[in-house]
Amino acid sequence: MYPGRCLPRPAWEQDGLGGGPGMIPFLLEVALEAQPADVDSLIAQERRKLKALQEAQRRDMEKLKVLRRKERTLGDKLLGLEREVALLKQHIRTLREQERHLTRQIDSTRSILRSLRTSLLGHRRALGRHLRILYIYGRPSLLKVLLTSEDITEFWRRVQYVKAVEEWERMYSEALMREMRSAQKHSALLKARLEARRELIVGKSKKERTLKADMAKIRRILTRLRRDRKAKEEVLGERRRAIEESRRKVESLILAKKVRGPGGKFVRIKGELPWPAEGPVAERFGRHRDPQLGTWTFNRGIGIKVPEGTIVRAVADGKVILEEWLRGYGQVVLLDHGGNFFTLYGGLRDVYVGEGQDVKAGEPIGTSGRADALSPPMLHFEILEGTKVLDPTKWLKPR
């Protein structure tokens, strides 16, 4: 598509370096202002700069790899610590639950001990009262029991009763003592277990604090590494853009080196130049507004509507200084007519001439085609004075 179409300006027309219309004045400006030796020097200088940028980029890439590797290693370590802390917390929760359970058991055992002590104390008091009675009245002898009994059966029953009471008191007292000793032993065991759990909780909690401190330290290091990595990525992005710009400059300087030609008297034949091809002007020079989109574009030349394959001729004597494909133009031939005047022929299908070749006015330089697959058959024609574009219709023969 030629720049005269009523479409938004393409990117290459905005930056002026990626090929297309913006490239032509840049090439002409460099070619006209610099001597060949100066251009060679600029190319060498720019190549040295490009090499230095590429070497710096290589070093930055190595540093970035190291930063990313460290970041991954620390990230894995942090993840491992987080898992370990999670397991510790789970273990501590289990230990605290065991601590609460043991505390409840100890409290229950203490309650049992209090009850046993109360029972033993009551039994001992009753036994004490019994002993006082015996002390006061004395222990009844078998003879007294026999004499106070109605018969031998009652005597025997009373003797057995006294023995049973004494045996029961002894056994009951011993049972209470055994239960108390068992409860005390169980309480001591529970207290030992509780103390062990508390020591474990203290140890695990201390380890958890240590791990959390390590995690905080790693997070600080990771934050710094990520900041350094992002900064290095930004530097690399700037470096890539600088390398791309340097490459384009080298390419542009190499192209500009070609854009030089002999003097001439092109200006004297203004208004009498032959048309490069026979056909109506479909796209005129200058600014155009799309009535539907409302956008403005600038056509640097004119578009001559001709069938594909139409012979395209040089409008004046000149020298081919550029024969190349340019984005937005398609295949292009640029002629230097001397005196700072140039003509450009775009959208060619076939090219009959090569760079450095001298051509005569009216000599075929190629055939017309399209700027791209979406454009209609068209010859794009420009006239330039230095880097300034001129209206071709004011230089061509009226018709």
pLDDT tens-digit readout, 228-266:
889 888 888 888 888 888 778 777 766 665 554 444 478
Please compute the mean of the pLDDT values over residues 102-128 and round it to a whole number. Answer: 75
Helices (H), 138-151: 142-148
Instruction: Look up residue 72 and give its two tokens.
Output: 């991954």
Tell me what pLDDT residue 10 has: 33
For the packed helices 23-33 and 152-258, what is the interaxial angle rounded to 10 degrees? 50
Q: Over pLDDT 90: what percentage of the chain?
A: 24
Checking if the pLDDT of 42 tops 50, the result is yes
Out of 19-28, 211-220, 383-392, which region has the weakest mean confidence (pLDDT)? 19-28
Any idea which of 40-44, 84-88, 140-144, 386-390 has the lowest mean pLDDT?
140-144
The model's pLDDT over 63-81, given as tens digits with 9 standing for 90+, comes to 889 988 988 998 898 889 8
Q: Are 318 and 335 in contact (CB under 8 A)?
A: yes
Note the pLDDT tens digit of each residue in 178-224: 877 887 887 888 788 878 878 888 888 888 888 888 889 888 888 98
Residue of higher predicted confidence among 277 and 242: 277
Ordered domains of the chain (ranges, CATH): 63-238 (1.10.287), 261-399 (2.70.70.10)
Whole-model pTM: value is: 0.41
Assign 7 a pLDDT band (cuts: 50, 70, 90): very low
Report helix, strand or coil for 167: helix
Q: What is the DSSP letter of 355?
A: T
Of the candidates 315, 246, 239, the residue with the CA atom closest to the CA atom of residue 277: 315
Contact 395/271 with Cβ under 8 angstroms?
A: yes
Q: Is the dihedral of CA 342, 346, 351, 354 positive or negative?
A: positive
Q: How far apart are CA 349 and CA 326, in angstroms?
A: 13
